[in-house]
Amino acid sequence: MIRVVLVGPREAANVGMVARAMKNFGLKELVLVAPEIRDMSEAYRLSSRAHDVLERARIVPTLDEAIADCVLVAGTTARRRERYAGLAATPRAAAGLIRAAAARGPVALLFGRENFGLFNEELDRCHYVLHIPTAPDYASLNLAQAVLLVAYELFQSQAGALPETDPAPAASLEAYFRDLEAYLIEIGYTDPPRLPSVMRHFRRMAHKALLTEEEVRMLRGLLRQSRWAMGRRRD
């Protein structure tokens, strides 16, 4: 199952055109994270025959809630020079793995605000960071255009290969990353100002590995045991 997640959408018209693009290519699940929209009438007007996508759409207050059960998260950005935790790819290059992951569990495609896109910390939640190739002198795409192009590439792709075991859901990974952040500060591996950059590297390793639920539990157990051993030595 592939879930389209719009983070902080501001224009009802764009939401309607996104719903239409989704229906063009067989995507049914739409989630709006903290939308800044009070009246959805324009969304219904511009969705053409995709009213059913809008009627099923969920509104949630946080990104955590939107992706908690997802085994793979892919976010889109027009920014080329930033380095993120996820693997950089075009929608075409990542489409096969996204399709394969969707056969194992929910997959989220994240699209950001019309005026700014996704924040860096939101992109750090992604296994893949997708950049749509455009003319270099004008890279900005309308929200619905971006959804349309990614959905088209997924529709055209063949499923790629995934590890034999299911990847861990995003909520489990985030619990591990929170434990790891605290641990890295505790042992003096880094300090608070440098922590975001350091964690980006650790997130990238985890995203590349597509850790399973059991592997995440083992890593969290290692951190707990290490803390216990350090406390015992101090005693």
Q: What is the DSSP string of 61-82?
A: S-HHHHHTT-SEEEEE-S--S-
pLDDT at 230: 82
Last residue of a domain, which of 156, 179, 198?
A: 156
Which residues span the domain enclosing 96? Answer: 2-156
pLDDT at 166: 83
Last residue of a domain, which of 156, 191, 206?
A: 156
CATH number for position 141? 3.40.1280.10
Structurally, the chain folds into a number of domains equal to 2
Question: What's the whole-number mean pLDDT along residues 194-216?
Answer: 92
Q: Point out the least confidently predicted range of 23-32, 88-97, 121-130, 163-172.
A: 163-172
Residue 88 falls within a domain, yes or no? yes
Are 177 and 141 members of one domain?
no
Strand partners, 72: 107
Residue 52: partners with Cβ closer than 8 Å, 6 or more residues away:
23
Burial grade of 24 (CB within 10 A; 0-12, 13-18, 19 or more): middle
Are 20 and 135 members of one domain?
yes
Are 189 and 142 members of one domain?
no
Are 89 and 202 members of one domain?
no
The pLDDT tens digits for 122-178 are 999 999 999 999 988 887 889 999 999 999 999 998 766 666 778 899 999 999 999
pLDDT at 78: 84
Are 149 and 174 members of one domain?
no
Are 75 and 149 members of one domain?
yes
Are 151 and 203 members of one domain?
no
Residue 163 falls within a domain, yes or no? no
Contact 170, 70 (CB under 8 A): yes
Residue 101 falls within a domain, yes or no? yes
Which CA distances in Å does 130 have to 64, 138, 153, 217? Answer: 20, 17, 12, 29
How many CB atoms neighbour CB 232 within 10 A? 8
How far apart (Å, rounded) are the C-alpha atoms in residues 173 and 179?
A: 10
Are 219 and 148 members of one domain?
no
Query: Position 198: which residue type?
Result: V
Last residue of a domain, which of 133, 156, 179?
A: 156
The two structure tokens encoding residue 235: 């005693």
How far apart (Å, rounded) are the C-alpha atoms in residues 121 and 125?
A: 7
Are 224 and 140 members of one domain?
no
Are 127 and 175 members of one domain?
no
Q: Identify the CA nearest to 16 among candidates 2, 32, 34, 33.
A: 32
How far apart (Å, rounded) are the C-alpha atoms in residues 131 and 33?
A: 21
**pTM summary value:** 0.86
